[in-house]
A and B are shown apart, each in its own frame.
Chain A
Amino acid sequence: MIRKLLVILSFFSIFSLSSLSAAEKKIGFIYIGPPGDHGWTYMHDEGRKYMEDALGDSISTTYIENVPENADAVRAIRKLAQSGHDLIFTTSFNYMDQTLEVAKEFPDVKFEHATGFQRTDNVSTYSARFYEGRTVIGHLAGKMTKTNTIGYIVSFPIPEVIRGINAFYLAASKVNPDVKIKIIWNYSWYDPGKEADAANTLINQGADIIVQHTDSYAPCQAAEKAGVLAFGQASNQEAFCPNSHMTSIEDIWGPYYAARAKAVVDGTWTSQDTWQGFKEGMVEMSPYNKKLLSNDLIAEANKIEKSIEDGTLHSFEGPIYNQAGELVVAEGEVADDGMLAGMMFYVQGIDGDIPQ
């Protein structure tokens, strides 16, 4: 109810930005949270600003924040399409159906759906290979844990999140076969209080490293307070937990957004699927914390980054078994993008079930 009203209110703010020259391309963004979350939405907004700087007067941008992943999203996306936007980025997985629905009604408007997998002539999909970063932090966690228990706070059971858990566990168990991960599903991307509760619950149960796949920096803060280690999410969170933050996986959207907006300006935009990682710079690691990690360990982490970049290492190298013990990736092979994109199973060694 309240959110609906907010969405309606934000529409008015779009109308107020009307006096634009005809040549200028209008680019819209749909955000799941506020740009001030210092996580997921913050990094998309940084990408938007980068795009504005890169393309100058040839584009103008608008965004609608806090759009829930339900029918409200249809209204928000449609509103952007109706108000003359040429390119619309919908920046959350569960905007998938809504994006496709509106894209059908506006064949001349281009859409870009983040982390999705369904494309049409005017809907592109794009995502970052965050899981490559999870391989790095998995390695660090496996080496750094003393209790062999790692707490992992997650949002929703979708392939992106499960892929992250698996990549993390594979890397951690490779260097430390005794490692166990405890997982808490929060069923929200953004609730600082609940994220802090989850972190404290995991620490209370013996976790000495906190990993998160949610959007606020509350887990990292909770770890700092309890004196255990943590990894940040989406943006560099070192400022909030200087004594426990080992590194963060950063999402770098700017160059991609600028390239896609440029394509719209030039009239060369076509529907495509983009999935980039360390190699292209869409995923980066924040500076490793020298106070916590030894030089050797930092060198190892850098080496993993390099190996993934040049293709000599893959986050999902066979043999990989699922929880039932069935071989899913054979020895000497790596998981293909199709398997990664739809990954809805845990690898062998992870306790518990994926919520349905």
Chain B
Amino acid sequence: MNYDLILGITNIVLISTTPLVFAGIGELVTEKSGVLNLGLEGLMLVGAVSGFISLVITGNYLYSFILSILSGVVLSSIFAFFVLRLLTNQIATGLALTIFGIGLSAMLGKKFGGTPINGLSPYYLIIFSFILVFLINYILYKTKAGLIIRAVGENHHSAYALGYDVIKTRYLTIIFGGVMSSLAGFYISVCYAPMWQEGMTAGRGWIALALVVFATWKPWRLLVGAYIFGGVAIMQMNLQAFGVKLPGQFFNMMPYIATLLVLVFISSNKMRLKLSAPASLNIPFEKN
């Protein structure tokens, strides 16, 4: 293996893993505050299509970025209103959001599919993703705001009794999660594969959801986990292209085997998993 080859592989891994980092870190913060949002895939798709359409119309990356983020704010606010004010079931509402997002993005993008655009260099957002993970880790564990988010996620009644606004905190974390998902979508349709095609996120929202559990709700582990997922996928492509003689099924299974191994390793220390999972996750909060 020569230097250029390794550099090239690293480059591809960085480019393909970044959307998982964005969507995953957003969901991590949302879940830390005790809300499970299964709508990532839908949010990503709407973020992708809004970013793409606004880029086609305005030709300006900044407007495209802002509109994409706005789509995340709007959609996740609707989700937040349902689960926080109307106390709907989080799982059902999240699934509804995904289905809605798939449909909405397909409808919005109908006229724009197949319009060629000039993609934005992915490196700005790749660098930003690392800074973001650092920032989120700092905020969650070193600041008062982070303490409130975690308190709300662990025991919302106690947090409420201490005078913290549970609903407001969760509104903010849900919107943050939504913004991160739409940013992942923006990255996919404007930087990663600069195009719009229906359903183009191809399940990355679900992988990001799995990542959060895989990372046991810790930002740094999420980053490492995302790069394990992404790295394994790219390595198996490289092995295939090198013509390494292994059965095809093995290639196909490698990401799952890697996931399983890490899961086994993590679950061997049951307490650690138990300590990280937010205790109020997926439990609606009602003021007594």
> Which residues of A line the B interface, CB within 8 A?
1-2, 5-6, 9, 33-34, 36-38, 66, 151, 157, 182-185, 187-188, 190-198, 200-202, 204-205, 216-218, 221-222, 225, 239-240, 351-356
Contacts A37-B197, A240-B116 known; A356 to B249 CB distance under 8 Å?
A: yes
Most B Cβ at <10 Å: residue of A192, A225, A353: A192
Q: Which of B116, B243, B248 contacts A239 (CB 8 A)?
A: B116
A184 engages B240 (CB within 8 Å): yes
Partner of B200, one of A192, A205, A351, A352: A192
* A157 CA to B233 CA, complexed, in Å: 19
Q: Do A151 and B241 contact each other (CB < 8 Å), given the known contacts A36-B110, A192-B193, A356-B249?
A: yes
Whether the Cβ atoms of A205 and B242 lie closer than 8 Å is: yes
- Interchain CB contact under 8 A, B199 and A355: no
A211 to nearest B CB, angstroms?
13
Cross-chain contact B41 with A2 (CB below 8 angstroms): yes
From residue 199 to 236 of chain B, which have CB atoms closer than 8 A to chain A?
A: 199-202, 204, 233-234
Query: Within the complex, which residue of B19, B98, B192, B198 is in contact with A196, where a contact is CB–CB below 8 Å?
Result: B192
Are A197's CB and B99's CB within 8 A?
no
Binds A, one of B4-12, B78-86, B268-276: B4-12
21 residue pairs bridging A and B, Cβ less than 8 Å apart: A5-B99, A34-B198, A36-B197, A38-B114, A38-B197, A66-B199, A185-B240, A185-B251, A190-B197, A193-B193, A200-B8, A200-B11, A202-B241, A205-B241, A216-B193, A216-B197, A217-B195, A240-B116, A352-B240, A352-B243, A355-B252
Would you call B36 an interface residue if the criterion is a C-beta within 8 Å of the partner chain's C-beta atoms?
Answer: no
A33 partner residues in chain B, CB cutoff 8 A: 198-199
Is A205 a contact of B192 with CB atoms below 8 Å? no
- CA of A188 to CA of B188 in the docked complex: distance in angstroms? 18
How distant is A223 from chain B, measured CB to nearest CB, in Å? 13
Taking Cβ atoms with an 8 Å cutoff, the residues of B that contact A are 5, 8-9, 11-12, 15-16, 19, 41, 95, 98-99, 102-103, 106, 109-110, 113-114, 116, 119, 188, 192-195, 197-202, 204, 233-234, 237-238, 240-243, 245, 247-249, 251-252
* Shortest Cβ-Cβ A-B pairs, 8 listed: A355-B248, A204-B8, A34-B198, A36-B113, A192-B193, A191-B202, A182-B241, A351-B243
Contact B193 A218 (CB under 8 A): yes
Minimum distance in angstroms from A207 CB to a CB of chain B? 8
Q: Is the CB of A200 within 8 A of B109?
A: no
B273 to chain A, nearest CB (A): 25
A352 touches B245 (CB 8 A): yes
| Cα–Cα, bound, A123→B109 (Å) | 35
Q: Which residues of B contact A36 (CB under 8 A)?
A: 106, 109-110, 113-114, 197-198
Asked if A188 contacts B202 (CB within 8 A), the reply is: yes
Do A193 and B202 form a contact, CB below 8 Å, given A200-B12, A217-B195, A352-B243? yes
| CA–CA, A216 and B240, complex, Å | 21
CB-based contact A183/B99 at 8 Å: no
Residues of B within 8 A of A355 (CB): 247-249, 251-252
Residues of chain B lying within 8 A (CB to CB) of residue A183? 240-241
Report yes or no: A240 in contact with B195, Cβ–Cβ below 8 A: yes
Who on chain B is nearest to A355 by CB? B248
Which of A151, A183, A197, A218 lies at the interface centre, i.e. has the most chain B CB atoms within 10 A of its CB? A197
Task: Give Cα distance in the complex from A38 to B251, angstroms.
Answer: 28
CA distance A225 to B204 in the complex (A): 23
A184-B197 contact, Cβ under 8 Å, with A197-B12, A356-B247:
no
CB atoms of A205 and B238 under 8 A apart: yes
A84 to B31, CA, bound (A): 47
In the bound assembly, the distance between CA atoms of A217 and B233 in angstroms comes to 20
Q: Which residues of B contact A2 (CB under 8 A)?
A: 41, 95, 98-99, 102
Residues of A within 8 A of B106 (CB): 34, 36
Evaluate contact between A6 and B8: CB separation under 8 angstroms.
Answer: no
CB–CB B237/A198 < 8 A:
yes
Q: State A186–B24 Cα separation when bound (angstroms).
A: 24
Answer whether A197 and B237 are a contact pair too, CB < 8 Å, given A187-B252, A217-B195, A221-B194: yes
Task: State whether A34 touches B8 (Cβ < 8 A).
Answer: no
Q: 7 new A-B pairs (CB below 8 Å) besides A193-B201, A197-B234, A201-B237?
A: A34-B199, A157-B248, A193-B188, A193-B192, A200-B8, A202-B241, A240-B195
Chain A, Cβ-Cβ closest to B241: A182
Bound CA–CA A33/B202 (angstroms)? 11
With a cutoff of 8 Å between Cβ atoms, the chain B residues found around residue A151 in the complex are 241
Residue of A nearest to B240 (CB): A184
Q: How far, in angstroms, from A185 to B114 measured CA to CA in the complex?
A: 25
B4 to chain A, nearest CB (A): 8
Q: Which residue of B lies closest to A350 (CB)?
A: B243
A37 engages B249 (CB within 8 Å):
no
Contacts of B41 in A (CB 8 A): 2
Alpha-carbon separation in the docked complex, A214 to B234 (Å): 18
CB-based nearest B residue for A207? B241
User: Would A185 and B238 count as touching, CB distance under 8 A?
Assistant: no
In the bound complex, how far is the Cα of B238 from the Cα of A204, in angstroms?
9
In the complex, which residues of chain A have a beta carbon less than 8 angstroms from the beta carbon of B110? 36
Closest partner residue, chain B, to A152 (CB atom): B241
Q: For A185, A198, A201, which residue has the most chain B Cβ atoms within 10 angstroms?
A: A201
* Complex Cα gap A355–B239 (Å): 13
Residues of A within 8 A of B11 (CB): 200, 204
A193 touches B200 (CB 8 A): yes
Report the separation of the CA atoms of residues A33 and B234 in the bound assembly, to the nearest whole angstrom.
Answer: 24
User: With A193-B16, A193-B188, A351-B243 given, is the CB distance from A201 to B238 under 8 Å?
Assistant: yes
Closest to B8 in A: A204
User: Are B12's CB and A201's CB within 8 A?
Assistant: yes
Q: How far is the CB of A248 from chain B (nearest CB, A)?
A: 13
B128 to chain A, nearest CB (A): 19
Whether B251 and A204, one on each chain, are in contact in the complex, defined by CB atoms closer than 8 angstroms, is: no
Query: Are the CB atoms of A205 and B240 closer together than 8 Å?
Result: no
